[in-house]
Copies of this chain bind each other. A is one copy, B any other.
Amino acid sequence: MVKIGVIPGDGVGPEVTAQGLAVLELVGGLDGFRYELEEFDLGGERYMATGEVLTDATLARLRSCRAILLGAVGHPGVPPGVLEKGILLKLRFDFQQYINLRPVHLYPGVQTPIRDKGPDDIDMLVVRENNEDLYVGVGGFTRKGTPEEVALQTSVNTRAGVERCVRYAFEQARKRAGAGPFRGLSKADRDAGMTRQVTLVAKTNVLTFAHDLWMRTFEEVGREYPDIKRDYQHVDACCMRMVVSPERFDVIVTTNMFGDIITDLGAVLQGGMGLAASGNLNPEGTAPSMFEPVHGSAPDIAGKGIANPLASVLSVAMMLDHLDVPAAAARIRRAVAQVLAEPGPRTPDLGGKATTAEVGRAVVEALRA
C-alpha cells in the first residue's frame, strides 16, 4: 500500500487536483496499483485563517508519504515569499527533491503560439536543479530603509549538488535514446556514435564563479557519456532559440533560477500553463517526491471551475512513473493525447468553453474505453 499525500492548496489547486485524483483512482483500479491518500490542509487560505504555514508535525506526516500531489500554493493576501519559502521551497529542500523535472511536449491537436512549429519540433525535457542557487535564501540587507541601503542575494552552488543534477540529465538523455535518436544531431555527431543531446543553459561569461563550477562539472560528467552530445547555450540565447528553433533542444540541464524562467517559456511552447506538469524528485527515494502543475493558484479564475485539469493529470502520470508503475503513467498520457487529438471539451485556456470537470471526465472516459 503506497501512501500518497495530497495538498490541494489554494485557488484553482483543489479544482484541478480533484480531477487528477479521479484519474488516479481509475488507473489505480485498472493497473491494480494499491494506494491510500492522506490530505493536507496547507496554503494561503489556511495561513490567513490560522497564521500557521507548516508545522513540524505536518512535515513529519508528509515525510511518511511515498509521494505528494500538490495543487497550488499562493494567495494574493499573503506577503511574497511567506508561502513559497514556508511550504513549497521548504518541502523541495527538506525532502531533498533536488531535481525539478519539466517535460516540454506539444501534443498533437494543441496549438503552439509559435508560427510554423508543430509537435515534431517541440519535445524537450528540462532538468532544473531544485535545491541550490539563488533559491537557498542566503542574503541580507545593510542600512535597510536608508538611501545607503544595500541588499545582497547569493547563489550557492556545490559540486555535489551540481554533479547529481548534471548526471541525472545525462541519464535521462540515455533513456530517451529508446525513443530514437535526437533529430537535431548533425551527421558528424551521429557518425561519432551520439544519439541524444544535453544542453547546459547558464551564463558562464558573466557568472564566472557559479557557472564555472557548472561548466567544469558538465564537461567532466559528460565525458562519461560519449553517446550523448554536450551542448551549451547562454540563458539569453536559449530563450531566443527556444522560440525560434525549439527543435534544437533535447534534454536541457540548468540552474534553479534559470530553470524557473525557461520552463515557463517551455510551457508557452507546449500550449500554455494548462498543460505543464512537473516533478520535484528525490531520485533516491530517501524522502517523498512531489508532483505539481507548473501553473500557480491563478486567483483570477479560481472558483469558476474552468482551470485546465490536464497539468494536474499529467503530474499524476509523472508520479506514477516515479512510483514505478510506468504502464499506468503511459495509459494516462495516451488518454490525454487522445482527448487533445480529437474534437472534444477544452477549457478556455485552450480556446474552449468546457469546465475543469468536463475535461477531467473526458480523460476518465478515454481511460475506460
- Contact between chains at A155 and B152 (CB < 8 Å): yes
Q: How far is the CA of A160 from the CA of B147 in the complex (A)?
A: 6
Cβ of A42 to closest chain B Cβ, rounded Å: 16
Which residues from B are CB-within-8-Å of A113?
A: 114-116, 243-244
Q: How far is the CA of A244 from the CA of B236 in the complex (A)?
A: 19
How many residues of chain A have a CB within 8 Å of chain B?
63
Per-residue contact bits, chain A 125-166, to B (CB 8 Å; 1 contact, 0 not):
000000000110101110000111111111111111000000
Q: How far is the CA of A85 from the CA of B153 in the complex (A)?
A: 21
Judged by a CB distance under 8 angstroms, whether A239 is at the interface is yes
- Given contacts A152-B154, A244-B272, A236 and B260 within 8 Å (CB-CB): yes
Cβ of A269 to closest chain B Cβ, rounded Å: 8
Cβ of A297 to closest chain B Cβ, rounded Å: 12
A232 (CB) vs chain B CBs: closest residue: B80
- Given contacts A80-B205, A113-B244, A149 and B153 within 8 Å (CB-CB): no
Of A84, A257, A272, chain B has the most CB atoms within 10 Å of the CB of A257
Judged by a CB distance under 8 angstroms, whether A267 is at the interface is yes
- Report 5 cross-chain contacts, Cβ distance below 8 Å, ordered by A residue: A114-B114, A135-B206, A141-B212, A151-B209, A237-B264
